Structure 1
């Protein structure tokens, strides 16, 4: 018997209406939230916005025309890093606004605009190299970080007796006292 997949597979709840969002119903994800296609609409004209440019102001979603011509204007953007007003280009990451030159790794201070980055559990932003260097587990034998291999995002490690090891450092011997 072939496995059957239910077309009623639920992905979660729509942010706007609160109803279940099913695989066959047509949905989109925007600003980290799930919407029915029919619920992701402009607050002024009710135009569906899936795949269209949109703007948000104080939790309301607007199509480009209504944002530009209805008198809706966003509050002043303030950089999450330096605290100064942003008067030109706004870089948004993790729901926060930055000057593009202020969006930097907390360790090496490298600018991260257009670059891959990682965020720790305290919402600190890292370049990928520093994230792995600082957040990677230490090898139980050599005490060096277990890092991804060159050109990979995954690290290979051996787990034994509640410790991690580089593959080349793991001896496989367990000393019982």
Structure 2
């Protein structure tokens, strides 16, 4: 069927997606109504889409399908378990420690599943799609908050001290100059 209207074909339904109803992702066009997760059918936008080859998913379904797998990871990144695995038959305290082997399963030894970055706030893996950098460390977007008031931060509003994140207001209240006229009343005798 010829494409007479001038729009591109929708990658999902293969009908013409005119410019007013078109969303583009990875060089492919979609109708706004066709821009949905291939697994759960939830509507997507530029902040929630995760593309894999010619397929589009919400970040949760993408993590479940293509995220890390293995012991302690449940059904993938959508069900990560941050609790340390329980070991049966641990060595008694008075026995000599075993020498470390090169194929140890210790979670701190080497990066696993292509992700070596851990969020300092929640200690879970930080992937590129959700990474925010501050204080020389990677943070999840959801963990990128002021430690005191919980306000969400951006690169222009974040201040760090001793590895923790603060909004500019909380930082000024707790670490800024003190005295009369500076937001904190001076103690008068």
TM-score, scaled to structure 1: 0.39
- Larger helix percent: 2
Larger Rg: 2
